Structure 1
Amino acid sequence: MSLWTAQAAATATHGKTQGGWVATGVSIDTRTLQPGDLFVALKDQRDGHEFVAQALDKGAAAALVDHVPEGVAADAPLLIVPDVLTALDDLGRAARARMTGKVAAVTGSVGKTSTKEMLAEMLSAQGRAHASVASYNNHWGVPLTLARMPQDTDFAVIEIGMNHPGEIAPLARMARPHVALVTIVAAAHLEAFDDITGIAVEKASIFEGVEPGGVAVLNADMDTAAIVMAKALDCKLRDISFGAEGYDFKLIRADLRDETTVVQARMGDAPLLFKIASPGRHFAMNALGALAVVAALGGDIALAVGSLGRWKPYKGRGQRERIYLDAVDTRLSLDLIDDSYNANPTSMAAALEVLAAAPVTNDTGRVSKGRRIAYLGDMKELGPDEVALHAGLAHLPATQSLDVIHCIGPLMRALHDLLPDAQRGGWYETSDAVLPRLKRHLDSGDVVLAKGSLSMKLGLIVDAIRKMGHAPLDEEEG
C-alpha cells in the first residue's frame, strides 16, 4: 500500500524530488530497511548519507537527503531538502494532517512504553491501529512514527519522552493528540532538573499539544498530581484521573500471581475486573491508565479488557521466561525476569516487588531451596542525590525479602554496602565481570531479575542466562 508518493513527500517537505517513486514505508536504518521504504539519511553518530547507496541497493524506493551522496547516481530516486531532520518533521506533520482517526499520546517517567504497547494491543482490536516502535519517543522518533502512519489509521498511539526541559511540548504539538496520558512523575533525568516539580511541569506540557476539547488522563496517586492537573485545566481540557486515589478509574486491588496480575477496579460506579498476563502492580496501574484513554477515545471497554489478557511486556521491560537447564528433565529450570532496558528508583522498586512475589521451586537443584536473586545495575541521570537514592533501595520491604542481591556499577556500591551478609552477593564494576561467575551463582528453582540503566548493559547478563538453557526435547521423541 502506498504511504508516500514522490509528489506528496515533495509537497510536505518543500523538497526537490527525482523520479516518480512510491514509498510503502519509512526507514532510518539500513539494517532493518524493507524494500519500498523511503530511507531518511539522518545525521547522528554516523551520517546517514554514507548509507544511501546501500539503502538503494537493498530496494529503498528513494532516499531523503540534503545532497546527492558520493557513489550515488545523479538521477537516483531522491528527495533533496535543505535539512533532513526538518524534512522528517514536515513529513510527520503532513501525515498527521491527512489522518482523520483518533490520536493518543503517552508520557511519564515510568511506564510509557508498556502503556503504549497496552494501548496498541487494545485499540488494534477496535480498528486500524498504529503505534510507536520500541521507544521511539524523541525528536526524531515522534516524527518518524507519524511519517510511518497510514492515512486510513483509526487509532494512533504516540509515545513522547524527554531528557531535558522544553522537549515534550513541541513533540505534542506535532502529534496533536485527542487524548494525552501522564503515567507517573518520578525521579528520572533529575540531573537536568532542579527537582521533581520541574519534571512534573515538563511532563504536563504534553497537554499543550492536545486538540481543543480533548482529554487529559493523569495518575491521581502522584505527589505532583496537583501540578499536572493544573496544567490540564489551564489548557481547558477535560480531565480523567486513575489510580488508588483516582476518581474516574479507581484501583481497588492488584494481586500478583505466578505469571499474572489480577486487578479489581472501578470505572465510575461500574466494577472492573481484569487480568494481565504478567505479574506487576505497576502493570495494573498502567493498564488502568490505558483503559481510561480507551474510554476517552470512545472505545469499547469490555473489548479492551479482553485485549489486556493477551498483552505481555516488551523485551527488556519485565518480560518473564523459563530457562530449561536440562533438555530432558524439564524440572531443572529457572525463571528469568528481563527488566534490563532501563531503571530509576520507581521502576526499580516495582521490579523488586515483582521478584519478591515470585514463587520459587524447591528440591530440584544442587541448592535445595529455590532463591530470589537480583542483578542490579546503576540507575543513571539522578542528579546530586544519586548515591542516596541507590542506598535507599536497601530499606524497601521487597529488597529485604530477597535471597541474594548482586550489585553492578559504582553507584550500586552504596546498596551493596548496606546489605546484610546473608543477602550480599558480589559487587562488580561492569556487567562483563559478572559473566564468568553466573553458572556458580544460579541453580534450578531460582527466580532471577536483571535490572539497570541501559548503559550498564545488564542485557549481557540476560543473554548469558538464556544461553545456559536448552530447548526441551519433544516427549514423543525422547
Structure 2
Amino acid sequence: MIRSKNYRKNALLRKSKLVFTSERILNKRPKGNRCSPWGTMHLLLYLKILQDFESGELSPDQEVIFPKEVQNEFGTLRSTKSLWGEKRLLSEILNQAISFNAPDCITALFAVYDGWENTRKKLNQLAVQLNVSVFSRLAPTGRNKETQLTNIYDYYKIGLAFLELKPISHYFIKNRTHIIHDKVLDPPMDMNFDNTIISSIFWGTKQNDGFLFKKNGQIIECSLVINGDSIEDTVQTALNEIEIDDEFLSHQLEEEKRNVPFNEWLSSNFEGYFLNEKLLKKPLEVNHMALDMPMVEIRGMENVGIVSLKAEHYRSLIPYTSRNIHSNTAIMNSKSKNRISLIITDEPIVELQETIPQFIVPETLQFCHDYISYMREIYKGKLIGITGSAGKSSTRLMMSHLLKDEGSVWENYSNANLHYPTFSLSMEISNNYDFIVFEGAAAAMNSLGYGNNAYLWRPDVAIITSFGSAHAATGIERNLRVKKQLFYGVKEGGYAVINGDIDPEYLREFIKTAKSLNLTIYMYSIENTGLDCYVKNKKVMKYGTEVTFSLFEKEVSFVLKTDSDGQIQNAMGSLLALECIGFSAEKHAYKFSEYESFERILKPKQQRINGVEITLIDDTHNSSIEATINGINHFASKKKFYTGTKLLVLGEVADLQGQSVMQHKRLEPAINEANADKVILYGEPFKSVELVSRNVVHCETKEDVVQEIKKSITEDSLVFVKGSAGIRFYDVVDMLEKESIKQEGNVR
C-alpha cells in the first residue's frame, strides 16, 4: 500500500528485494529506482576484514583494543556499552557488530586499520573496485545521514562480493548470542529456525535492510531486502513469506502528476516550500527542467524549471573543478532569465523573489535525483543507453536519425557524455519525448555523487559499441568494470546489444554481466556469421559503402556514406536496438543513405592546393586505438579510387599515459597493410612504432605535418587525417583548408 503522497516514501524508499547467486539474479527486479537512506561503509568494513582473514593479512584471534572514540557510542541505540581500552578478539567484535548492528563495535573495528582515516582510505579503494556510490559512503557506521542514499544495486554488488568469499567465512557473520560484561545479549532476530540460513547481516532502525545468505544445495543464495518495516518484516520478505507488489505504482504516480497543477504536485511529492506564493496565482507552466543556463540557451528552452546547485554538490559531480560559487550566482547573472518560469534552490534568491517563483528545498542535488527517478518511473517512451570505447556518439546519432520520423527524441548535445552533463540531461526525462537516447562515457557510470547514472536512466536497451584502450590512463580493467555498469540500470525484460567483434577476453565479461541481470542479449559482427546480426556482403564505393547483412536471418541492405568498419558496426547495433523497441530494421535501414555524422568523422573534403585537386578525409573528431585502426582500414579500402599519391597522416592518440607506446604499437599491422605511398606521423609514441614502409616521416610540429602533406600531394591525391581532439590534430585540417581557400583566392 502507498503510505503517503511523498514520492520518497511512495516509491524511492519502497520496500524492494533482490535474490541472487554469484551467477545471476533469481527474482524480478524492482520496476523503478529503489534506494535506502542507510549507508554502505559498515558493510564494506565487514567485507574487507573477511577478505583479509582469507588472505592472512588479519587473524580472527588477534586482540583489538577499543579506541577512545567508542565513548561516543556508549549510550547509543544497540551499543554493547564497550569501554575505552577494553580488549576483545577481532572475530568476536566483528560478529557483535553484525549480530547487534552495534555502533561501538563498528567503531572499534576501525582500530584494526589504525583508525578511521586509514580505514576510510581502504574502504574507499574497495568501493571504487565495486563501483559503489560516493553518497552511500557518508556515515562511517552506515547510519542515516543528510544527503546519504544507497541504491539497491550498490548493495547488490556488495552482496556479490560476500558470495565470492569462502563458505567458512560465513561462520564469522552468522548472528549469535554473546555474553558481554556478564550480560547475555541476543541478536534481534533468532535465525536458527531455518538450518539452510548460513549467515545474515541486518542494519537500520525501524526502516530495516538486510542480507540473508542461504544454502540451496551446493549453491549459496543471497536475499537482499531494503526498506523493510522492521527486522521481522525484512526476514519474512527475504524468505518469500511477504510478497512485494509495485505493479501499478507507475500508473498511480502518473495519475497523481496528471491531475494536479504543477506547483501542487511539486510540493506534495518533494520536501520544500514556495518562497512567494503570491506568484502562484497564475498557473505555473514548466515545460523543461535543467541544471545549468548554457543548456537552456543551447537548446532554446522556454518555461524552464532551473535547479540551482551549491558549489560543493557541483564539485561532487565534476572531479578536479575549482568552482566555489552557488549556481544562484549564475542564474542572477544570466541574460536569459526570461526563459525561467521556476527556480528550485536550497538558498532563496532574494533579488528575484518578486519576479520568479522559487521552490526552496533542503538539498537541490537530492531533489534532482528524486525528480529524475519520479519522471523516469512514469515515462512511457523508450530509452536507449549507449557506451563503448569508440562509436558512442555515432551510434547515438544513428539511433536519433532512424527514430526522428517516429516521434520526438531527447539526446546528448555534441558529445557531452561525462557524469555531470548526463546527470543534467536526465533532468529533462519526460513524456514530452517519445524516445530518449543517451550516450555515456565510463565517467557517466562511475561512483560520483549518487553513482551510476544508468540507475536513473533505466534503459530499455543498452548498447556496447566497442571496448579497448580508449582513455586507458584510468586502467583498462577499471574501464571495463565501469562500462559494464550500464547493464545494472537496464529495466527488467530489457536488452543488451553487444558488438561481437570486441576482443573475446573483454566480450566474455560483458556477456557474463548481462546474463547475471537476465537481459536478452543480441550481438552483431562484421565477420562472425554465427551471431544475430552479421555482414554478408560489402560493396565499397568511392563515396560510401553498400552493406548487405543478416538480421535474425532476414537479409537487409543499406548504403552508408561514413563507411568505415566501425561505422558499419555502429549502424548494425542501431538497427538491432531498433528491433528491440518494436520497429522494423528492414523498413528503416534505407534512412542511412541520408545520415550525416559529426563534421569531423570520416568527412571527405575536396580541396585545391599547390594547383592540384585532392580529396582530404577529415577524421579528427576524436580518436582511440580502435577508432584509428578502423580509420586506417577505411583509408586502405578507398585508395583504389584515386590516381594520385595516397597519404596516411596520423596524430597520436591522447589519454593513454603509461600505456601509450604499447597501445600505439598495436597500430603497426594496420599501417603496414594499408600500404600508403607515404605515412606522416605526429607525436612521441609513434617514434617507437616499427613500420615496413621506408617512406615514413615523423614530424615535430603540426606545421611540419602540413608542409609534408603539401610536398607530397599530386593530382587526385587521397589524404587521410586521423588524430585526437585532445592534441587538436584538427588544426592540420584547418591549416590545409585555409591554404586551399587562400590559393583559390589568388587564382581568382
TM-score (norm 1): 0.82
Pairing 1:229–2:511 present? yes
Alignment of 1:330-349 (within 5 A): 332-349=612-629
Report how far residue 73 of structure 1 moved: 3.9
Cα distance change, pair 176–426 in 1 and its aligned pair in 2 (3 A):
same
| 2:687 paired residue number | 413
Pairing 1:53–2:332 present? yes
Pairing 1:458–2:729 present? yes
Q: How far apart, CA to CA, are the structure 2 residues paired with 1:387 and 1:307? A: 40
In the alignment, structure 2 segments of 5+ residues that lack a partner are 1-260, 315-320
Of 237, 240, 244 in structure 1, the residue corresponding to residue 522 of structure 2 is 240
Report how far residue 80 of structure 1 moved: 5.0
Report how far residue 81 of structure 1 moved: 4.9
Whether contact under 8 Å (1:339, 1:451) holds in the other structure is: yes
Pairing 1:389–2:663 present? yes
Whether contact under 8 Å (1:214, 1:238) holds in the other structure is: yes
Cα distance change, pair 86–397 in 1 and its aligned pair in 2 (3 A):
same
| 2:644 paired residue number | 370
Give per-residue Cα distances to partners, 1:353-411, cap 9 Å, x unaligned.
Answer: 1122224776xxxxxx6233333222133353321221332332566422333322322
Alignment of 1:294-443 (within 5 A): 294-323=578-607, 332-359=612-639, 370-382=644-656, 384-397=658-671, 400-415=674-689, 418=691, 420-422=693-695, 424-429=696-701, 431=702, 434=705, 439-440=710-711
Q: Counterpart amino acid of 1:463?
A: D
Report how far residue 218 of structure 1 moved: 1.2
Alignment of 1:64-75 (within 5 A): 65-67=345-347, 73-75=352-354
Q: Counterpart amino acid of 2:665?
A: A
Report how far residue 159 of structure 1 moved: 1.0
Q: In angstroms, what is the RMSD of aligned CA positions?
A: 3.6
Cα distance change, pair 76–445 in 1 and its aligned pair in 2 (3 A):
farther
Higher mean Cα deviation, 144-153 or 9-18?
Answer: 9-18
Pairing 1:145–2:429 present? no
Alignment of 1:14-29 (within 5 A): 14=271, 19=279, 22-25=285-288, 26=290, 27-29=292-294
Report how far residue 260 of structure 1 moved: 1.0
Report how far residue 122 of structure 1 moved: 0.9
| 1:103 paired residue number | 383
Q: How far apart, CA to CA, are the structure 2 residues paired with 1:153 and 1:264? A: 32
Q: How far apart, CA to CA, are the structure 2 residues paired with 1:444 and 1:91? A: 60
3-state SS of paired residue (1:140): helix
Alignment of 1:107-256 (within 5 A): 107-163=387-443, 166-167=446-447, 170-193=452-475, 195-196=476-477, 198-222=478-502, 223=504, 224-243=506-525, 244-245=527-528, 246-256=530-540
Give per-residue Cα distances to partners, 1:266-318, cap 9 Å, x unaligned.
Answer: 11222122211222111111111111111111112222212222212223333
Whether contact under 8 Å (2:609, 2:743) holds in the other structure is: no
Cα distance change, pair 443–145 in 1 and its aligned pair in 2 (3 A):
farther
The count of aligned residue pairs is: 455
Q: Counterpart amino acid of 1:455?
A: G
Report how far residue 154 of structure 1 moved: 2.1
Percent identity of the aligned residues? 19
Whether contact under 8 Å (1:7, 1:17) holds in the other structure is: no
Higher mean Cα deviation, 342-351 or 75-84?
Answer: 75-84
Cα distance change, pair 444–214 in 1 and its aligned pair in 2 (3 A):
same
Whether contact under 8 Å (1:360, 1:447) holds in the other structure is: no
Cα distance change, pair 16–60 in 1 and its aligned pair in 2 (3 A):
farther
Whether contact under 8 Å (1:14, 1:81) holds in the other structure is: yes
Report how far residue 240 of structure 1 moved: 1.1
3-state SS of paired residue (2:417): coil
Q: Counterpart amino acid of 1:34?
A: G
Q: Counterpart amino acid of 1:216?
A: A
Give per-residue Cα distances to partners, 1:422-471, cap 9 Å, x unaligned.
Answer: 2x234125x46656776556565233333222220112223223333459
Whether contact under 8 Å (1:352, 1:398) holds in the other structure is: no
Higher mean Cα deviation, 39-48 or 449-458?
Answer: 39-48
In the alignment, structure 1 segments of 5+ residues that lack a partner are 363-368
Report how far residue 192 of structure 1 moved: 1.9
Whether contact under 8 Å (1:321, 1:336) holds in the other structure is: yes
3-state SS of paired residue (1:309): helix
Give per-residue Cα distances to partners, 1:20-48, cap 9 Å, x unaligned.
Answer: 56444445427636362455556456555
Q: How far apart, CA to CA, are the structure 1 residues paired with 2:715 and 2:452? A: 50
Q: How far apart, CA to CA, are the structure 1 residues paired with 2:658 and 2:514? A: 30
Give per-residue Cα distances to partners, 1:200-238, cap 9 Å, x unaligned.
Answer: 443222111111111111122221222211111110111
3-state SS of paired residue (1:145): helix
Q: How far apart, CA to CA, are the structure 2 residues paired with 1:307 and 1:60? A: 35
Cα distance change, pair 67–385 in 1 and its aligned pair in 2 (3 A):
same
3-state SS of paired residue (1:236): coil
Q: How far apart, CA to CA, are the structure 1 residues paired with 2:584 and 2:547? A: 18
Q: How far apart, CA to CA, are the structure 1 residues paired with 2:428 and 2:517? A: 29
Give per-residue Cα distances to partners, 1:124-156, cap 9 Å, x unaligned.
Answer: 222333222222322122233332344132222
Q: Which structure: larger Rg? A: 2
Whether contact under 8 Å (2:560, 2:568) holds in the other structure is: yes
Q: How far apart, CA to CA, are the structure 2 residues paired with 1:205 and 1:156? A: 19
Whether contact under 8 Å (1:257, 1:279) holds in the other structure is: no
Report how far residue 165 of structure 1 moved: 7.9
Whether contact under 8 Å (2:651, 2:682) holds in the other structure is: yes
Cα distance change, pair 212–253 in 1 and its aligned pair in 2 (3 A):
same
Report how far residue 351 of structure 1 moved: 0.8
Higher mean Cα deviation, 281-290 or 199-208?
Answer: 199-208
Q: How far apart, CA to CA, are the structure 2 residues paired with 1:470 and 1:411? A: 33
3-state SS of paired residue (2:667): helix
Which structure has more relative contact order (CA 8 Å, sep 6+)? It is: 1
Report how far residue 120 of structure 1 moved: 0.8
Cα distance change, pair 94–439 in 1 and its aligned pair in 2 (3 A):
farther
Q: How far apart, CA to CA, are the structure 1 residues paired with 2:487 and 2:519? A: 8
Report how far residue 319 of structure 1 moved: 2.9
